[in-house]
Amino acid sequence: MRKLKNSELERKSIDEFKQSEKTPIVIVLDNVRSLNNIGSVFRTSDALLIEAVYLCGITATPPHRELHKTALGAEDSVNWEYFKNTEDSVAQLKENGFEIYSVEQAQNSISLEKFEADTSKKYALIFGNEVKGVQQKIVDSSDGCIEIPQFGTKHSFNISVSCGIVLWDLFSKLNYKK
């Protein structure tokens, strides 16, 4: 077995990415502080052809040198929009027919492995602040909460890790059902 060279990976150009059919998922970052987390979300979103990333509240926006360190240019390929208030992003997504799920530990949350994705629907996934999580008023306006099962002593994953886990799971469920 031999590692592939970058030239053998047949990656899309930014223009090809922009014109590609997207996975019907929008990521909403609700007051995420870490530029590394934001950059990682962009990079994961690029890898899985995610429709867009919505940056809300104190979440930094491109262009930003620190964000670029982990995004590695994905902030140029993935569509993004900034909202001063997360509520405004959720309202817009609802108007556009998205089902809204906060990724949060909450009463009556759906464990990720039990979440059944419907290929006829569009999804918005909300990831919250590294300390406070998703705002309660955003949880209240969500169609539901998805929770990642955890079995150790810690009660949460890093937001970029959470995003990677949930996106890959949902991407797989949507694409392998087709």
- Residues in the chain, total: 178
Predicted local confidence at residue 137, as pLDDT = 98
Q: What is the pLDDT of residues 113-129, one digit of tens each?
A: 999 999 999 999 999 99
Q: Name the region of 16 (left: φ>0; alpha: ψ -120 to 50; beta: rest).
A: alpha
Query: Among 27, 54, 25, 29, which Cα is nearest to 135's?
Result: 29
Return d(Cα 109, Cα 129) in angstroms, integer.
Answer: 18
* Fold type of domain 19-176: Alpha/beta knot (3.40.1280)
Return d(Cα 110, Cα 117) in angstroms, integer.
Answer: 12
Query: Among 16, 38, 40, 39, which Cα is nearest to 29's?
Result: 38
Confidence of residue 177 (pLDDT cuts 50, 70, 90): low
Contact status, residue 101 vs residue 79, Cβ threshold 8 Å: no
Task: Determine phi and psi for 5, rounding to 5 degrees.
Answer: -80, 155
Predicted local confidence at residue 175, as pLDDT = 87
Q: Is the pLDDT of residue 176 over 80?
A: no
Domain boundaries, the chain: 19-176
Confidence of residue 178 (pLDDT cuts 50, 70, 90): low
